[in-house]
Amino acid sequence: MHIFMTGATGYIGSAVLDALIRAGHQISALVRRPGQAARLAARGVTPVMGDLEAPHTYLPVIAGQDAVVHTALEGSAKRAEKEALALDAVLPALAAGSGPRAFVYTSGVWVLGDTSTATDETMPVNPIAFSAWRVPHEARVLAAGGNGLRTIVIRPGIVYGGGRGIITDLLKEALNGLVRVMGAAENRWASVYDRDLADLYARGLSSPGASGVFHATDESDERVIDIVQAMANHVVMRPDIRHVPIEEARQKLGGYADALALDQCVRSPRARALGWTPTLRSISGNVPRLFEELRASGV
């Protein structure tokens, strides 16, 4: 397939790019900086210089693609506006094309809110304020499907592996001697290994009948405190674990603190129906591997 990607140099996007290259797809990718373009070109990817909020920089490329994979996450406070602008341009362009086409949108399990009982893709969303902007975007993507266009929404859990992300930040804190957690940290995080997540994107694109919402979690239901204790047990000098009151965390992190405090038990039956099976099913059970991946990343 000929696939156009956004966010190909990001945490999720770089893992997805690796999986799509391994699968033999031809990739074009939106980039903003020449250095990124050079690194992608060295891997056989066609860089497209532009910006998510400037659709004229990439719409001409989309006309010749079989699929668009959107993994970019704008870091500014205007992320929702910029993504909406991109969707307004990309979805009609794909819908106007001929032949089978696909659009894959990256959301996240935080749109589900607290899920103390097992929650699959059929459950209604109940987002916290931090993630509420994703809900209308999901709906827009799903409504655009039809007439040859498959639309897919993937909701990853907290991604681990490699040298980036929330779990990597905890690994670094453990090495530095002080790990901070929200409250008692008895809440459970829905999680997924980065390479396993990337495999789901590849499977979704290669499965002609795949459309709709797909959760991507390893279903380990691990408590945050168990994850942190496993990290603390692995380092030479055991770190202190500081339990930060949620009110204090909100002062520093805003709504992100509420996301980290969510208690989630998330299932992925629709992803598993595609033949997707996570190779790693625990953060705490793979701490040595994750420390090694952090060291190998050079971060």
Residue pLDDT, tens place only, 97-126: 878 899 999 999 999 999 989 999 999 999
- Return the percentage of the chain with pLDDT > 70, whole number: 100
Query: What is d(CA 227, CA 107) in angstroms, rounded to the nearest whole number?
Result: 24
Query: Structure pTM?
Result: 0.95
**For residue 198, how far is the Cα from the chain centroid?**
9
Query: What is d(CA 179, CA 243) in angstroms, rounded to the nearest whole number?
Result: 9
Amino acid 233: pLDDT = 96
147 domain residue, yes or no: yes
Give the count of beta carbons closer than 10 Å to the beta carbon of residue 103. 26
Q: Is residue 76 part of a domain?
A: yes
Q: How confident is the model at residue 271 (pLDDT cuts 50, 70, 90)?
A: very high
63 has a pLDDT exceeding 90: no
pLDDT of residue 128: 95
User: What are the pLDDT digits (tens) for 71-98?
Assistant: 998 777 788 999 999 999 999 999 888 7
**188-219 in b/e burial notation, b at 16+ Cβ within 10 A?**
bbbbbbbbbbbbbbbbbbebeebbebbbbbbb
How many separate domains does the chain show? 1
44 backbone dihedrals φ, ψ, rounded to 5° = 90, 10
In this structure, what CATH number is given to the domain that contains residue 26? 3.40.50.720
Q: What is the DSSP letter of 297?
A: H
Main-chain phi, psi angles of 279, to 5 degrees: -80, -30
Give domain status of residue 98, yes or no.
yes
Q: pLDDT tens for residues 181-211?
A: 999 999 999 999 999 999 999 999 999 999 9
In a domain, 174, yes or no: no
28 lies in some domain: yes
Residue 121 lies in a domain: yes
Task: Look at residue 100 in the predicted model and tell me its pLDDT.
Answer: 85
State residue 64's pLDDT score.
83
Supply the pLDDT for residue 23.
95
Which residues form the domain of 207? 2-159+193-217+266-276
Name the band, by pLDDT with cuts 50, 70 and 90, for residue 297: confident
> Is residue 83 in some structural domain?
yes
pLDDT over threshold 80, residue 20: yes
E-strand spans in the chain?
A: 2-6, 26-31, 46-49, 67-70, 101-106, 115-119, 149-156, 158-160, 178-182, 188-189, 191-193, 212-216, 222-223, 240-244, 264-266
| Within a domain: 173 | no
Report residue 274 as tokens.
């595609």
Q: Which residue has the tokens 């079989």?
A: 66
